[in-house]
Structure 1
Amino acid sequence: MTSSAKPSRSSSTSSTATEADVVVIGAGHNGLVSAAYLAEAGLRVLVLEAGHLPGGNTVTEELTLPGFAHDSCSSAHVLIQSNPLLADDELGLLSRWGLRYVHPDPAVVLPRADGQTIVVHRDLDSTANEIGKWSDADASAFRELIGEWNGGLAAAHGRWSSGFPADHDGYEKLRARSAWDVIHERFGHPAVRDLMVWLSFATIQDPRRPGTGVLPSSITAGRLRFGWSTPIGGSGALPAALIRLLEARGGAVLCDAAVERIETRAGRAVAVHTADGRRIAARRAVLSSANLARLPQMLEAVPDDLAAANAAWRPGLSVFAVHAALTGNLTTRSAAAGLGSTEGIARQLDAFYRGETDATDPWLLVVNQTVVDPSRAPAGAGTFKILTVAPWDRADGNDWAEAKHGYAEQIVQRVRERIGGLEPDDILAMRTESPRDVAAHNTHNLGGSCHGGEFVLPDGQWLAGWPSYATGIDGLFLTGSTSHPGGSVSGRPGRNAARAVLTALGMDPAEVMSSR
């Protein structure tokens, strides 16, 4: 693993600390984003992480062989590029703290079963011309889709993502629809529909579900603008930069420090207790990025809002991953490739809900980031990942510990049929992770979900993230992927929660962040 992606685990100061202004539970990227803003505002911040490494699902590890750095979960950091954290470099992560990205072109390639390939470029005209090879009408529709997004919907989406009202009737109507309906309404050619459905699946949400209607626009516009945004050194480079800032401001991260209980006094959060018996006082606030399905277990008395969040949470789509060390790179010459047709993805999702897998033509994300970041492997070699979805419980009753290898071979074969460089002799080592393994990798990944799951309210409304950062307990705040606007590497829950904490403490968020 390269040094840029290897955050420090703890310091002597943090390991003996007994109090802080703000105690943050969980060192995922959102918890660290919050901590960095709060520290920049002058607060003394201590972050407690249950695992042995900080980063949560933005971790880079040697999963297969020494010298091969794999992103355990997240790989692309596209959504966070439009967050003012990076767009305006509010904390200096890019200019001062060593975070570096490459934004490659092409953004992603989609090799098709008929031998042709659709290429998504970092350019509207080039991508529209690519679509025009299949359909002139769909090329025009694609330009219109992106034009509408850039003409006002993107700004509304930014306000909504930041926890403000969207103030755009068209945006609210679009967001309430399903990505599936939007795509089938606007595009006619099967190949173009395949492309748009594949892109819309990027945040691991069923595109047929109402509430996903902005994804065809938002995900596609992000790829056009930023490509497959790749952190140099691995996904862990983001938490590493945040920790450098935090420590420079007097804060710290303490790993192997699972929080068991949040102590309250007179209705206010005042301290946390770790599993190994330590009590750490929180002078001003406690900020939790714990999964909202678990947070109530840390409280003696659960307020109504957190009880409602706990009752509404569902794991959503659980994921399945294959990591491999390769003798070289794949033949796509792109950091990312996509497989899966519209019909194949629908079959896969229907099978998922039945507790089955369908590998005939499923949604597959194929990541080969050593194409653009060769520092992640020995000279000439490559790292490789396939990500897809699979059920937590198998309807056939077979144990994933054994069944995962057969499914891995099936999806590797699907990739091998369309992409070169993945023959058996090209694979030096392979690691397969079923949804059960994904959950074991990070305590936040309940049910094998690495995107925070979802919330289904009593009235049937669906939310990707819980909308409030404050809670019914004074001084206790929420962040992380179960907070608005949900999972993926966006940093939005972290930045939004920091604003909520600073405002509640009578401090001006404008000292460290813009009004966006």
Structure 2
Amino acid sequence: MSNGGADDTVDAVVVGAGQNGLVAANLLADAGWDVLVLEATPHVGGAIRTAELTEPGFRHDVFSAFYPMTAASPIMRGLDLEQYGLRWRHAPSVLAHVLPDDRAAVLSRDPDATSASLSAFDARDGDAWRRQFDEWLRIKQPFLDVLFTPFPPVRAATRLARTLGVADGLRFVRMLSTPVRTLGTETYHGDGARLLLAGNALHSDLGPGAAGSSVFGWLLSMLGQDVGFPVPEGGAGNLAEALATRLRTRGGRIACSRPVTRVLVAGGRALGVRDAHGTLVRARRAVLADVPAPSLYRDLVGEEHLPARLLSDVDRFQWDDATVKVDWALSGPIPWSNPDASGAGTVHLDNDLDGLARYSAELTSGRVPAEPMLVLGQMTTSDPTRSPEGTEVAWAYTHVPQRLEWDADRLRRFADRVESVVERHAPGFTSRIRRRHVMGPADLHRAEPSLVGGAINAGTAALHQQLVFRPVPGLGRSDTPIDRLYLAGASAHPGGAVHGGPGANAAKAALARAGHLAGAGYGRLMRTLHAALYAD
């Protein structure tokens, strides 16, 4: 990869080689554009990275690890990454939610197996799950088109409305806006299915009682049943490498260890960027920024180029919770008391519904939860290439409040607490630890600058920061008040997770702006709309 050089001129410069930046660059290269991607770190992929954090031969996913949204995303599927080295692997089962009493609700790609597990909690719930999954299959394609289409998704929403009909459409909108605990109570009779929904909702920062948490719990649960929670063979980094390889085959260039310090603006238009070495890259058509929105506006553009009202909105941008993550090299598989957890790629530990509500409430109040919910990954169980035969690579993360200080001693003690939760359900677990690696919020942020304060979803998933409110009240699009500058990072709609949506939306906007016939009109329209939005 290139690491600097003389001033350059390209059609588009992409700031950041995270998954969204690489998706945007690929789509622009597909359109014949000359594209250069500038990445601050030595690695492509952003929060998609694999490293030997503990011992040689143990391949750990440093940040993200399981990719249901990638497998389902029409954007990612359209890139045909399997032609560039990507291979998916699956654990025997998708997810197990282990309760305090050691019962487990198991989500499997086999609907019969999921149904049987949930029926053990209540005989009626297996059939209720099948009905919910059948409804998912009916609306899956139009719903995903709505999710990944630039806002407003008029055509995709029309197709979804036709599929649902008026009465079911209203009920569907109500379902998506309800708290996930309400959805679980209305749909199921036992705790098993309710915990699958609520636990999956907490992959965001929305607790069981939060309005809109149902959409995340329902979506991840249905995707788990449909496409599973797959992992890239050999490590998450191979997903990033497939994106980078595809881009290079189309003439795109990537320069790592080359942080951008400024977006160059004149006359209200983005003209290019300056990197930390002082080198300029001029952009004939567009600058796309795969960075958090506050970083783009405050650090790279500068307040002198932006409306005061926008800057005020940026200062109100709300991050999601911070994260603590522990990685382990284990001498053998985790010795679960309940064997149903042994085959699950992802394990949720170990709260019931009331416990999940307490955990969320403590986070909201700024306290470190007394009984944290753990999301645990069994990576060698999912992909045997991750560690030597007979061993296991595993990790667990949990959310903690933002803006707390985490010194080495506090992190060590918290990691011990995490291990004690696992040990409670897998006696002998700690004796199998060969080595561990602990990352607190500041460590995550240092290792990947987009994980601000250890936030892994690029901003809260709450309703007040979604759709036309993401990242600030506006158009729900990647266009910015600066002509030919586009926000391509996950703090833009449709948000976090590895699906390429923000990057694809930014690329589409840049292509529309540069269109030979409509381009000038598109630019005038965006400038008019932004002027109205941010007028003092």
Please report the TM-score for the alignment, with normalisation by the length of structure 2.
0.85
Q: Residue deviations 1:346-389, cap 9 Å, x none? A: 211222223322243x3211111111322222333221110110
Contact 1:205 1:316 in 2 (8 A): no
- 3-state secondary structure, aligned to 1:357: coil
CA distance in structure 1 between the aligned counterparts of 2:348 and 2:465, rounded to whole angstroms: 35
Picking from 384, 388, 392, the partner of 2:398 is 388
Q: Residue deviations 1:201-254, cap 9 Å, x none? A: 223433432222322321111001122211111111111011111112221111
Report the equivalent of 1:315. Answer: 319
Q: CA deviation at 1:262?
A: 0.5
Picking from 34, 43, 68, the partner of 2:24 is 34
CA distance in structure 2 between the aligned counterparts of 1:158 and 1:459, rounded to whole angstroms: 20
Contact 2:196 2:221 in 1 (8 A): no
Q: Residue deviations 1:396-449, cap 9 Å, x none? A: xx644321111111111111211356223x111111112222222211111210
Q: Does 1:404 align with 2:411?
A: yes
Q: How does 1:342-353 map to 2 (within 5 A)?
A: 342-353=353-364
Q: Does 1:454 align with 2:460?
A: yes
Q: How does 1:103-502 map to 2 (within 5 A)?
A: 103-152=90-139, 155-163=142-150, 164-165=153-154, 166-167=157-158, 168=161, 169-170=169-170, 171-297=172-298, 298-300=300-302, 301-303=305-307, 306-307=310-311, 310-331=314-335, 332-339=342-349, 340-360=351-371, 362-394=372-404, 399-419=406-426, 422-424=429-431, 426-454=432-460, 467-502=476-511
Picking from 9, 13, 21, the partner of 1:23 is 13
Contact 2:16 2:289 in 1 (8 A): yes
Q: Between 447-456 and 125-134, report the one with greater CA deviation.
A: 447-456
> Measured at CA, do residues 141 and 304 of structure 1 come closer, stay the same or move farther in structure 2, by a change above 3 Å?
farther
Contact 1:47 1:253 in 2 (8 A): yes
Give the letter for the 1:83 counterpart. Answer: S
> Measured at CA, do residues 476 and 488 of structure 1 come closer, stay the same or move farther in structure 2, by a change above 3 Å?
same
Q: Residue deviations 1:255-302, cap 9 Å, x none? A: 111111111122110110112211111111000111111111211411
Q: CA deviation at 1:74?
A: 0.5
Contact 2:201 2:214 in 1 (8 A): no
- 3-state secondary structure, aligned to 2:213: coil
Give the letter for the 1:224 counterpart. Answer: Q
Q: Between 31-40 and 180-189, report the one with greater CA deviation.
A: 180-189
Contact 2:70 2:498 in 1 (8 A): yes
More helix by share: 2
CA distance in structure 2 between the aligned counterparts of 1:196 and 1:320, rounded to whole angstroms: 23
Q: Does 1:59 align with 2:49?
A: yes
Contact 2:75 2:499 in 1 (8 A): no
CA distance in structure 2 between the aligned counterparts of 1:437 and 1:110, rounded to whole angstroms: 28
CA distance in structure 1 between the aligned counterparts of 2:81 and 2:464, rounded to whole angstroms: 41
Unaligned stretches of 5+ residues in structure 2? 162-168, 336-341, 518-536
Give the letter for the 2:81 counterpart. Answer: L
Picking from 80, 91, 99, the partner of 2:79 is 91
Contact 2:346 2:377 in 1 (8 A): yes
CA distance in structure 2 between the aligned counterparts of 1:255 and 1:400, rounded to whole angstroms: 30
Give the letter for the 2:31 counterpart. Answer: A
Q: Residue deviations 1:93-150, cap 9 Å, x none? A: 11x2111112333111223332332221102232122111111233333223223322
Give the letter for the 2:452 counterpart. Answer: L
CA distance in structure 1 between the aligned counterparts of 2:488 and 2:357, rounded to whole angstroms: 32
Q: Between 449-458 and 51-60, report the one with greater CA deviation.
A: 449-458
Contact 1:454 1:462 in 2 (8 A): no
Picking from 22, 25, 40, the partner of 1:50 is 40
CA RMSD of aligned residues (A): 2.5
CA distance in structure 2 between the aligned counterparts of 1:21 and 1:267, rounded to whole angstroms: 18
CA distance in structure 2 between the aligned counterparts of 1:123 and 1:304, rounded to whole angstroms: 53
- 3-state secondary structure, aligned to 2:102: coil
Report the equivalent of 2:166. Answer: none
Q: Residue deviations 1:168-196, cap 9 Å, x none? A: 34343333222232223322323432232
CA distance in structure 2 between the aligned counterparts of 1:456 and 1:204, rounded to whole angstroms: 8
Contact 1:34 1:497 in 2 (8 A): yes
> Measured at CA, do residues 71 and 195 of structure 1 come closer, stay the same or move farther in structure 2, by a change above 3 Å?
same
CA distance in structure 1 between the aligned counterparts of 2:345 and 2:392, rounded to whole angstroms: 11
Give the letter for the 2:354 counterpart. Answer: E
- 3-state secondary structure, aligned to 1:272: strand
CA distance in structure 2 between the aligned counterparts of 1:459 and 1:192, rounded to whole angstroms: 28
Contact 2:374 2:397 in 1 (8 A): yes
Give the letter for the 1:230 counterpart. Answer: V
Q: Residue deviations 1:36-55, cap 9 Å, x none? A: 11112211111111112111
CA distance in structure 2 between the aligned counterparts of 1:430 and 1:91, rounded to whole angstroms: 36
> Measured at CA, do residues 460 and 261 of structure 1 come closer, stay the same or move farther in structure 2, by a change above 3 Å?
closer
Q: CA deviation at 1:157?
A: 4.2
Query: How many equivalent residue pairs?
Result: 490
- 3-state secondary structure, aligned to 1:22: strand
CA distance in structure 2 between the aligned counterparts of 1:189 and 1:456, rounded to whole angstroms: 27
Contact 1:38 1:502 in 2 (8 A): yes
Please report the TM-score for the alignment, with normalisation by the length of structure 1.
0.88
CA distance in structure 2 between the aligned counterparts of 1:107 and 1:232, rounded to whole angstroms: 16
Give the letter for the 2:80 counterpart. Answer: G
Q: Residue deviations 1:307-328, cap 9 Å, x none? A: 3651341112211111111112
Contact 2:39 2:255 in 1 (8 A): yes
Give the letter for the 2:454 counterpart. Answer: G
Give the letter for the 1:355 counterpart. Answer: G
% of aligned pairs identical? Answer: 29
> Measured at CA, do residues 281 and 237 of structure 1 come closer, stay the same or move farther in structure 2, by a change above 3 Å?
same
